[in-house]
Homo-oligomer: A and B are copies of this chain.
């Protein structure tokens, strides 16, 4: 399995998500955590970019960080999977290694 990339920065303030996507090979997964979860929602100026990335990557978002921020799982972009901390652990073990784009 290729690797898991984690992104914890808001896509509206930093270029971290762009950088992660540019360096993820086809089949690599992206996990959005902390302020990175804001990239997961429909109706934002970054939503199209994220949807396009779904053709090459599985994208996950950390549910606890979504709820904390008052964002609704109903508005998560179709095709993005919501996981809890247990799911985060599973992703870490399923993929070969983890690259944290801090």
Binding site for B on A (CB under 8 A): 12-16
Number of this chain's copies in the complex = 2
Write out the residue numbers on chain B whose beta carbons fall within 8 Å of the beta carbon of A13.
14-16
Bound complex: CA of A16 vs CA of B12, how far in Å? 10
CA distance A13 to B14 in the complex (A): 6
Complex interface: chain B residues within 8 A of A16 (CB): 13
Tell me which residues across on chain B come within 8 A of A15, comparing CB atoms: 12-14
Please list 6 pairs of residues, one from A and one from B, whose beta carbons are closer than 8 Å in the complex, sorted by A's number: A12-B15, A13-B14, A13-B15, A13-B16, A14-B14, A14-B15
A15, B15: Cα distance in complex, Å: 8
Task: Please measure, in the bound complex, the distance between the C-alpha atom of A16 and the C-alpha atom of B14, giving whole angstroms.
Answer: 9
